[in-house]
């Protein structure tokens, strides 16, 4: 069984293995001309399985993706930031699942991923991108991390 600190350290080590690839891909985004329909970029992560993947998604607003087939000029669509990689090495037997729930490790895992994505974004000088850029976990629209200002926001409150 892990302690909370050991669990978060394991996650950080697995994320760190992906840093170079993510920073490089984010830096390359500065050379892309995005379609006029693209109003925001979202870095989206899965969560819930031992393996995760990060994608960059173009959106026309805070909730709807730009349909790349309807774009006449510029880029719209998805860009894979990582291949699927091992995020959580935990076996998750019954005792571990109880520990996970009792210590709210899902929320702590999201915070760990978000902090790492923000670090990668900053290393890639992502603030130079011409569009707002957000981090979110797939299917969780409660809050998103605005990567340019480093704050969690409610997407319903944002006008693009």
In a domain? residue 34: yes
* Strands of 15-86, DSSP E: 40-45, 51-52, 54-59, 78-80, 85-86
- The pLDDT of residue 30 is 96
Cα 108 from Cα 56, distance rounded (Å): 22
Phi, psi (deg, nearest 5) at residue 124: -85, 5
Please state the rounded mean pLDDT for residues 94-107.
86
User: Which of 88-92, 103-107, 150-154 has the highest mean predicted lDDT (pLDDT)?
Assistant: 150-154
Does residue 97 fall inside a structural domain?
A: yes
126-143 mean pLDDT: 91
Within a domain: 160: no
Q: Please give the average per-residue pLDDT across 94-120, as a whole number.
A: 91
Distances 119 to 2, 64, 109 between C-alpha atoms, Å: 26, 26, 15
Residue 83 lies in a domain: yes
62 CB-side CA count, 13 A = 16
> Is 15 domain-assigned?
yes
Put simply, whether the predicted model's pTM sits higher than 0.85 gets the answer: yes
How many domains, the chain? Answer: 1
pLDDT of residue 1: 61
Strands 54-59 and 40-45: antiparallel
Whether residue 71 is contained in a domain is answered as yes
Q: List the domain range (segments joined by +) for residue 147.
A: 4-155
- Mean per-residue pLDDT for 119-142? 93
Assigned domain for 108 exists:
yes
Task: Let me know if residue 76 belongs to a domain.
Answer: yes
């Amino acid at each position: 069984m892990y302690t909370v600190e050991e669990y978060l350290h394991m996650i950080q080590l697995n994320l760190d293995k992906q840093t170079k690839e993510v920073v490089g891909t984010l830096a390359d985004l500065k050379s892309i001309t995005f379609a006029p329909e693209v109003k925001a970029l979202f870095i989206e992560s899965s969560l819930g399985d031992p393996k995760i993947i990060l994608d960059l998604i173009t959106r026309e607003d805070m909730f709807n993706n730009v349909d790349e087939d309807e774009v006449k000029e510029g880029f719209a669509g998805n860009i894979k930031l990582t291949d699927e990689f091992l995020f959580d090495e935990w076996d998750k037997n019954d005792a571990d699942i109880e520990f996970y729930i009792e210590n709210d490790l899902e929320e702590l895992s999201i915070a760990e991923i978000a902090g790492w994505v923000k670090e990668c974004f900053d290393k890639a000088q992502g603030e130079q991108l011409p569009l707002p850029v957000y981090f979110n976990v797939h299917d969780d629209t409660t809050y998103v991390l605005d990567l340019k200002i480093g704050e969690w926001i409610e997407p319903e409150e944002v006008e693009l």
